[in-house]
A and B are shown apart, each in its own frame.
Chain A
């Protein structure tokens, strides 16, 4: 292991330790069963994982990942196009600005009725939210590309496809990853909400179920699982950034 990644691991461990220490102090100060400390919560977490928590975690992970990938596959080409082709954007922008601010959660009853209470309604709901959250930044990044770069590439004989391939696509990648980081937090929040309303499985259901039984340590085991889900997404995005944006790290 080289010096750099050693430092990185060290600071990761340090920051998690600081979080746990803060949690412990808060739990001691509050001194209420509703806020168990990290030791007790982790203990319950480890016991709960083989007893069903693992399945809930996998189902939630599947729902979040599918939604994010689906949103990306839709938002990336559309965002790139709307940023560059003004005549399309003039048509699409009013629709985007009308639909974007609506809290999509209000559609859950409709989706649940139309698409059943299973995975599809939840994935559709999360996708509806995340799609706009990544579409708008990608479109803006695509629109704000330095005109000199485009002209330079055109002067080399580039047709429209070449401009998209060599300029627009790589130019929107960093913005895409930033928007995915923000959207992953939203995705988990929407996931939680949809799973508490109409579900028998998933971390949201697990959490609400523990809450209704006043099993606070189990509730916090569920919260830890949600935190881990976020962490997994964060690491994947970090890895992706190094993989697809190597010029940002020189």
Chain B
């Protein structure tokens, strides 16, 4: 358990339990979950539906309190939403009544950052994800992939050191998904943001997660933590390691 104490870890989760109340009955969602995520690394959380993956993400983002155990993000428990944590939810959480640029600048506006400075940063991140031309569109005028990129741009505008994503690419077609996975890897290589993503897809977990945390339900607990050092290598998807790891995960998840 030495790794749990290292200063190099941005996220440390120890013996985490979460339960919530449904019709006055306590429903456990996570039980005794422990892991650590080094600064600047990527991690994929994978497991069957209802194993508490999303709950875990909510706790890390500070939107939900743990019932037991401890969670440290950047050395502190994430009680209030932490400034340098960005969360992208499944449907990207874009406000339908705000244009692309307003959605991207929303976090900055809420923090009271001045208009000009805000516009500068919005322009920079929108150019980075290739959507500056679409800045005056409403989300309903965008494709699924474009919406996801707006979600990513909004996260990047906060200049986060931790990016949490809930099934980021699950509703996209295969081609768009691979393109965006590629773009996310590029962002990670450029900025070395710590990325934690929840996914249903074995392929996605192996392609993007340096650590793959396999969860089992119900309540969710850690089944296994798999190291995956090949992430980010050129053409990783076509290597034998990639396929071996995928097969191994598939057999673990099919239990």
User: Which residues of A pack against B, CB within 8 Å?
Assistant: 146, 148-149, 151-158, 162, 166-167, 170-171, 173, 245, 247, 250
19 A-B residue pairs with Cβ-Cβ distance under 8 Å, sorted by A, are A148-B93, A149-B93, A151-B58, A153-B110, A154-B63, A154-B81, A155-B61, A155-B62, A155-B63, A155-B87, A156-B81, A156-B106, A156-B107, A156-B110, A166-B110, A170-B95, A247-B96, A247-B98, A247-B140
Q: Is the CB of A151 within 8 A of B138?
A: no
With A152-B89, A250-B138 already in contact, the answer to whether A162 and B110 are too (CB < 8 A) is yes
> In chain B, what residue has the closest Cβ to A244?
B97
Q: Is the CB of A151 within 8 A of B111?
A: no
Decide if B210 is an interface residue (CB 8 Å cutoff). no
Q: Is the CB of B89 within 8 A of A151?
A: yes
* CB 8 Å contact bits of B122-144 with A (1 = contact, 0 = none): 00000000000000011011000
> In chain B, what residue has the closest Cβ to A156?
B107
Give min CB distance, B59 to chain A, whole Å.
Answer: 12
Q: How far is the CA of A166 from the CA of B97 in the complex (A)?
A: 9
Give min CB distance, A188 to chain B, whole Å.
Answer: 30
| Set of chain B residues within 8 Å of A166, measured between Cβ atoms | 95, 98, 106, 110
| Set of chain A residues within 8 Å of B81, measured between Cβ atoms | 154-157
Q: Which of B72-114 contact A (CB under 8 A)?
A: 81, 83, 85-87, 89-98, 106-107, 110-111
8 Å CB contact of B93 from A151, A157, A162: A151
Q: How far is the CA of A23 from the CA of B249 in the complex (A)?
A: 74
| B interface, over-half SS | loop
| Set of chain B residues within 8 Å of A152, measured between Cβ atoms | 87, 89, 92-94
> In chain B, what residue has the closest Cβ to A147?
B89
Decide if B158 is an interface residue (CB 8 Å cutoff). yes
| Set of chain A residues within 8 Å of B63, measured between Cβ atoms | 151, 154-155
Please provide the 7 A-B residue pairs with the shortest distance between their CB atoms, ordered closest to farther: A152-B93, A156-B107, A155-B87, A170-B97, A247-B138, A247-B97, A148-B89
User: Which residues of B pack against A, CB within 8 Å?
Assistant: 58, 61-63, 81, 83, 85-87, 89-98, 106-107, 110-111, 137-138, 140-141, 154, 158
With A250-B138, A250-B141 already in contact, the answer to whether A167 and B95 are too (CB < 8 A) is yes
Give min CB distance, A190 to chain B, whole Å.
Answer: 33
8 Å CB contact of B97 from A146, A156, A245: A245
| Set of chain B residues within 8 Å of A149, measured between Cβ atoms | 93, 95
With A247-B140, A250-B140 already in contact, the answer to whether A153 and B93 are too (CB < 8 A) is yes
> Counting chain B CB atoms within 10 Å of each CB, which of A149, A152, A166, A247 scores highest?
A152
Q: How far is the CA of A173 from the CA of B92 in the complex (A)?
A: 22
Q: Is the CB of A148 within 8 A of B91?
A: yes
| Set of chain B residues within 8 Å of A151, measured between Cβ atoms | 58, 63, 87, 89, 93
Q: How far is the CA of A156 from the CA of B109 in the complex (A)?
A: 10
Give min CB distance, A150 to chain B, whole Å.
Answer: 9
Q: How far is the CA of A249 from the CA of B224 in the complex (A)?
A: 50
Give min CB distance, A111 to chain B, whole Å.
Answer: 39
Q: How far is the CA of A157 from the CA of B86 in the complex (A)?
A: 10
| Set of chain B residues within 8 Å of A157, measured between Cβ atoms | 81, 83, 107, 110-111
> Counting chain B CB atoms within 10 Å of each CB, which of A151, A153, A167 scores highest?
A151
Q: How far is the CA of A247 from the CA of B97 in the complex (A)?
A: 5
| Set of chain B residues within 8 Å of A154, measured between Cβ atoms | 63, 81
Give min CB distance, B24 to chain A, whole Å.
Answer: 15
With A167-B95, A170-B95 already in contact, the answer to whether A155 and B86 are too (CB < 8 A) is yes
